[in-house]
Chain A
Amino acid sequence: MKALRNYLDTIKPNFKEGGKLSMFHSVFEGMETFLFVPNETSKSGVHIHDCSDSKRAMIMVVLALLPALLFGMYNVGYQHNLSIGAVDTGFCMTFIFGFLAVLPKIVVAYVVGLGIEFAVAQVKGHEIQEGFLVSGILIPMIVPIDTPLWMIAVATAFAVIFAKEVFGGTGYNVFNVALITRAVLFFGYPAAMSGDKVFVRTGDTFGLGAGQVVDGFSGATPLAQIATATTTDTQMVNIIGDPVTMMDMFIGLIPGSIGETSKLAILIGAAILLISGVASWKTMISVFIGGAFMTAVFNLFGTTAAMCMTPLDQLMLGGFAFGAVFMATDPVTSARTETGKYIYGFLVGTMTIIIRVLNPGYPEGMMLAILLLNVFAPLIDYYVVDANINRRIKRAVKSTNA
């Protein structure tokens, strides 16, 4: 540690202004603060600071995402084995298959996103911000397994530049960066983002797990089945035609985007976020309440399969839980006032169900609902702040009359 510190101190002058490597000073600073807590002390104001910083907050989110990511990897392998009839493959091989299938996506997202982030930090001359640590791991988790890498690269680049950097970087963005990436993919390359061809990898990964797809295979997600159903009592089935049980949905052994399937893993993530206080329970719980409420309303009419789904099914399927826990709670793009968080969360939940139920073209509504509410978050906050202002004005009027 001492040697490392000494080494950094020796090479530091090179990165200072006028040094021969000064063009990389942001990268150097980023690395230095990554390794060592900056020893800068306070100059004005409080003399002591809480030891929590944005790095820690971000790393907590990444930590909370890991269970869902790891399970997602396993599920990729599991669904693949199911599709080729190799159900007796061991746990390790199943996981390794999934790991190798998912890893390139993570690498691509991070390399592209962080590359842009580094470059922008360098040009603007500020420190590298850690916001993309979270976006970079979210992106691979919210895409289907068979989305091509180059598409992810293009969409990530677009999202980081046009949804974040042009607005001023982390903390200034209007939209959730990971969701913009998904939206770009979704509307730019719909064939690679939806349908029944992309959610289960039927081919091999780096030569592993080659095989013939079994008869009766269909890669449609449960939500897609509901969206295209013609009767109201459609039975959801897995990819080889067996019925999907509530347990399957909870554990997550169903086809879907990589990170979204396991409610158990998401629950663990939610616990980490809530205990550490990084995410707001107000937003989280309101999304679920909003979703359940809207489903119950649709149940009253119940003319299509989607309308007839029980609230529990709605909340357990697709990206609802994932979006509620990890995406709706993004502090930058969601409502920032405490009252606003309830309203924002509730509306995300209701919008998701409305999109799911009423638009068969989009079996999943979470992404669009959150992006839509990202736009409305400042408006919600505006009214909450306005209420505070009005209270103050009323008080002043009362006191002059008294």
Chain B
Amino acid sequence: MANVIKIRKGLDINLKGKASEVMLNGGKSGSYAIVPSCFNGITPKVIARVGDKVKAGSVLMVDKNHPEIKFVSPVSGEVTAVNRGEKRKVLNIIVKADATIESEDFGKKSVSSLKGEEVKEAILNAGIWPFIKQRPYDIVANSQDVPRDIYVSTYQSAPMAANCDFVIKGQEQDFQTGLDALTKLTTGKVYLGVKKGSAIKATGVEQVEVEGPHPAGNVSVLINQLKPINKGETVWVVKPADVIIIGRLFNKGVADFTRLVAVTGSQTTEQGYMQVIAGCEISSIIGGKMVAGSNRIISGDVLSGTKVDESGYLGAYDTQITVIPEGDDNHELFGWAMPRLGDFSVSRTYFSWMMGKDKEYAVDARIKGGKRALIMSGEYDRVFPMDILPEYLIKAVIAFDIDKMENLGIYEVAPEDFALCEFVDTSKIELQQIVRNGLDLLYKEMN
């Protein structure tokens, strides 16, 4: 019997608009984009020029500090724009897609006969490397490292997140090949976290069942429960959808960034899954599927996703689109004094806790309170299932006391791990931003 990890601390937010397991039509996008800001720890150096004809798998840009890390076009077509912002910062590179997609041929390979270095080279060349991230710092993995272990969590426990059982169904072979490739990259093990009762089965990896409320599925929690990261150690993490892409590279010899995206949220008219290619236009997914009104479109989940416009592009790592009401037109009279039966709260200061756990909530994007200094204690601990003191770590990050940050476990966390803390915080502090800035500063300081 596989290992079972039981998580008690955490919180499942029961939101309206979960994806049902049906395929939706759509996802035909006119243009695709590489957005450098999706990839942390990268300094983009643009290779492609406007007007270039590219294939799926052709290099568009590289990391200035690690030129072997390539970012490739997800489709074939013509590079139509390299948009830059202030200080000539690259905002995105746009590729106008051909009707039929042609791919660069990287050659089919049998993973079992390859050495670690060859696997690494294949992934780097096909531009799939940026999907491998590392801890500490939560950045794109350094290809010169050999990680202690590699972790994949297929339990996506964030609100309304895609169900990996459904996503992997039919792609088991590619998924397995992807995992096999990852085992070649580490001297340690590849750990695969699955939701308790999941049908996902893989060989050659250490499979662990995880049970409990969000953030039980966060890969940081998996690492912390199995083998916490110590100072000086590096582990890599890959999302399950990207493991499939790695598998495809070896099985088919192409860089095929096709993935399933869960279309969710209370402001969508239909919910389900859609087959798209990474970097597609948001409008190609949710165009015509939104309830009219002031909406917030999120690439990712409601806790750690990125706010995007309909004209924006799907985030590189994201397998979910969420649409919720913005709520800025809502002026609630005496909200703080009302019973608020229809508003979700983890505390029992409002009476919605009497409505039971099955009630689904349509939550909008308002902060619902004033920003304050840290007042209440113990709020974060209740939703933070790691042997880390979140409040003290946050304080150390704000003060940028490097010794303290190290001692309190900064190397083990990613901003997403603080998402629930940020949600429940009555002082409305932007914790994920604080952690992100802290990690970036720390990285600069240490390298």
Interface membership of chain B positions 373-405, coded 1 if the CB is closer than 8 angstroms to chain A and 0 otherwise: 111111001000001110110000000000000
User: Which residues of chain B are near A14, meaning CB under 8 Å?
Assistant: none
Q: Is B276 an interface residue (CB 8 A)?
A: no
Interface residues on B, range: 35 or more
In whole angstroms, what is the CA distance A42 to B304 when docked? Answer: 12
In whole angstroms, what is the CA distance A105 to B253 when docked? Answer: 81
Known: A59-B336, A277-B347, A385-B392. Is A51-B433 also a contact (CB below 8 A)?
Answer: no
CB of A41 within 8 A of CB of B424, answer no
Known: A277-B348, A392-B407, A393-B407. Is A53-B387 also a contact (CB below 8 A)?
Answer: no
In whole angstroms, what is the CA distance A389 to B231 when docked? Answer: 12
User: Which residues of chain A are near B375, meaning CB under 8 Å?
Assistant: 54, 57, 131, 170-171, 331-332
Which residues 350-398 in A have Cβ within 8 Å of B in the complex? Answer: 384-385, 388-389, 391-393, 395-396
User: Which residues of chain A are near B369, meaning CB under 8 Å?
Assistant: 37-38, 49, 52-56
Q: Is B422 an interface residue (CB 8 A)?
A: yes
Min Cβ gap A118→B in Å is: 15
In whole angstroms, what is the CA distance A276 to B296 when docked? Answer: 31
Q: Is A33 an interface residue (CB 8 A)?
A: yes
CB of B432 within 8 A of CB of A44, answer yes
Q: Is B52 an interface residue (CB 8 A)?
A: no
Known: A36-B333, A388-B388. Is A170-B422 also a contact (CB below 8 A)?
Answer: no
Q: Is A399 an interface residue (CB 8 A)?
A: yes
Known: A47-B302, A47-B324, A171-B375. Is A41-B349 also a contact (CB below 8 A)?
Answer: no
Min Cβ gap B354→A in Å is: 11
User: Which residues of chain B are near A335, meaning CB under 8 Å?
Assistant: 377
From A40, A59, A168, residue with most partner B Cβ within 10 Å? A40
Q: Is A242 an interface residue (CB 8 A)?
A: no
Which residues 417-432 in B have Cβ within 8 Å of A in the complex? Answer: 419, 422-428, 430-432
Specify the chain A residue showing the minimal Cβ separation from B231. A396
Q: Is A203 an interface residue (CB 8 A)?
A: no
CB of A51 within 8 A of CB of B343, answer yes
Number of A-B contacts (CB under 8 A): 217
Known: A36-B331, A54-B427. Is A48-B303 also a contact (CB below 8 A)?
Answer: yes
CB of B426 within 8 A of CB of A53, answer yes
In whole angstroms, what is the CA distance A127 to B364 when docked? Answer: 23
User: Which residues of chain B are near A131, meaning CB under 8 Å?
Assistant: 375
CB of A37 within 8 A of CB of B331, answer yes
User: Which residues of chain B are near A275, meaning CB under 8 Å?
Assistant: 348
Q: Is B326 an interface residue (CB 8 A)?
A: yes
CB of B305 within 8 A of CB of A47, answer yes
Known: A36-B331, A39-B327, A171-B427. Is A50-B346 also a contact (CB below 8 A)?
Answer: yes
Min Cβ gap B405→A in Å is: 11
From B331, B350, B424, residue with most partner A Cβ within 10 Å? B331
User: Which residues of chain B are near A280, meaning CB under 8 Å?
Assistant: 377-378
Which residues 228-265 in A have Cβ within 8 Å of B in the complex? Answer: none
User: Which residues of chain B are near A59, meaning CB under 8 Å?
Assistant: 336-337
CB of A1 within 8 A of CB of B333, answer yes
Interface membership of chain B positions 313-354, coded 1 if the CB is closer than 8 angstroms to chain A and 0 otherwise: 000000000101011111111111100100111111110000
User: Which residues of chain A are near B343, meaning CB under 8 Å?
Assistant: 51
CB of B345 within 8 A of CB of A50, answer yes
Q: Is B46 an interface residue (CB 8 A)?
A: no
CB of B334 within 8 A of CB of A50, answer no
Q: Is A85 an interface residue (CB 8 A)?
A: no
CB within 8 A of B230: which of A278, A332, A399?
A399
CB within 8 A of B433: which of A38, A45, A332?
A45
Min Cβ gap A340→B in Å is: 9
In whole angstroms, what is the CA distance A168 to B331 when docked? Answer: 30
Q: Is B233 an interface residue (CB 8 A)?
A: yes
CB within 8 A of B422: which of A45, A55, A384?
A45
CB of B332 within 8 A of CB of A37, answer yes
CB of B408 within 8 A of CB of A54, answer no
Which residues 126-144 in B have Cβ within 8 Å of A in the complex? Answer: none
Specify the chain B residue showing the minimal Cβ separation from A388. B389
CB of A42 within 8 A of CB of B367, answer yes
In whole angstroms, what is the CA distance A42 to B364 when docked? Answer: 10
CB of A48 within 8 A of CB of B423, answer yes
CB within 8 A of A49: which of B333, B366, B415?
B366
CB of B367 within 8 A of CB of A45, answer no
Min Cβ gap A189→B in Å is: 31
Known: A37-B368, A39-B330, A41-B328. Is A46-B302 also a contact (CB below 8 A)?
Answer: yes
Interface residues on A, range: 35 or more
The B interface is mostly helix, strand or loop, or mixed, namely loop
Interface membership of chain B positions 353-365, coded 1 if the CB is closer than 8 angstroms to chain A and 0 otherwise: 0000000000111
Known: A170-B373, A396-B231. Is A49-B368 also a contact (CB below 8 A)?
Answer: yes
Specify the chain A residue showing the minimal Cβ separation from B351. A276
Q: Is B370 an interface residue (CB 8 A)?
A: yes
User: Which residues of chain A are near B326, meaning CB under 8 Å?
Assistant: 41
In whole angstroms, what is the CA distance A395 to B427 when docked? Answer: 33
In whole angstroms, what is the CA distance A338 to B331 when docked? Answer: 37
Q: Is B45 an interface residue (CB 8 A)?
A: no
In whole angstroms, what is the CA distance A56 to B347 when docked? Answer: 10
User: Which residues of chain A are near B427, meaning CB under 8 Å?
Assistant: 54, 171
Q: Is A162 an interface residue (CB 8 A)?
A: no
In whole angstroms, what is the CA distance A54 to B232 when docked? Answer: 40
User: Which residues of chain B are near A389, meaning CB under 8 Å?
Assistant: 407-408
Min Cβ gap B333→A in Å is: 5
CB of A45 within 8 A of CB of B389, answer no
User: Which residues of chain B are near A169, meaning CB under 8 Å?
Assistant: 373
CB of B431 within 8 A of CB of A40, answer no
User: Which residues of chain B are near A37, meaning CB under 8 Å?
Assistant: 330-332, 335-336, 366, 368-369
In whole angstroms, what is the CA distance A172 to B419 when docked? Answer: 24
CB of A48 within 8 A of CB of B304, answer no
Which residues 39-93 in A have Cβ within 8 Å of B in the complex? Answer: 39-57, 59-60
Specify the chain B residue showing the minimal Cβ separation from A335. B377
User: Which residues of chain A are near B376, meaning CB under 8 Å?
Assistant: 54, 57, 278, 331
Which residues 12-50 in A have Cβ within 8 Å of B in the complex? Answer: 33, 35-50
In whole angstroms, what is the CA distance A336 to B349 when docked? Answer: 20
Which residues 131-168 in A have Cβ within 8 Å of B in the complex? Answer: 131, 168
CB of A56 within 8 A of CB of B349, answer yes
In whole angstroms, what is the CA distance A172 to B373 when docked? Answer: 7
User: Which residues of chain A are near B431, meaning CB under 8 Å?
Assistant: 45
CB of B374 within 8 A of CB of A171, answer yes
CB of B388 within 8 A of CB of A395, answer no
Q: Is A218 an interface residue (CB 8 A)?
A: no
Min Cβ gap A326→B in Å is: 15
User: Which residues of chain B are near A122, meaning CB under 8 Å?
Assistant: none
A331-B375, A331-B377 given; name 20 further pairs at CB < 8 Å: A5-B331, A37-B332, A37-B366, A38-B367, A40-B328, A40-B367, A42-B367, A44-B433, A45-B422, A46-B423, A47-B324, A49-B366, A49-B423, A51-B350, A55-B336, A59-B337, A169-B373, A276-B348, A392-B228, A392-B408
The 28 listed contacts between A and B (C-beta, < 8 Å) are A33-B370, A36-B332, A36-B335, A41-B326, A41-B366, A45-B419, A45-B430, A48-B303, A49-B428, A50-B344, A50-B423, A50-B426, A52-B349, A54-B375, A55-B336, A127-B370, A276-B347, A278-B347, A331-B377, A331-B378, A332-B377, A336-B391, A388-B392, A388-B408, A392-B407, A395-B230, A396-B230, A399-B233
**Which 4 pairs show the lowest CB-CB distances between chains A and B?**
A53-B369, A171-B373, A37-B335, A396-B230
Name B's A-contacting residues (CB within 8 A).
13, 15, 228, 230-233, 296, 298, 302-305, 307, 322, 324, 326-337, 340, 343-350, 363-378, 381, 387-389, 391-392, 407-409, 415, 419, 422-428, 430-433
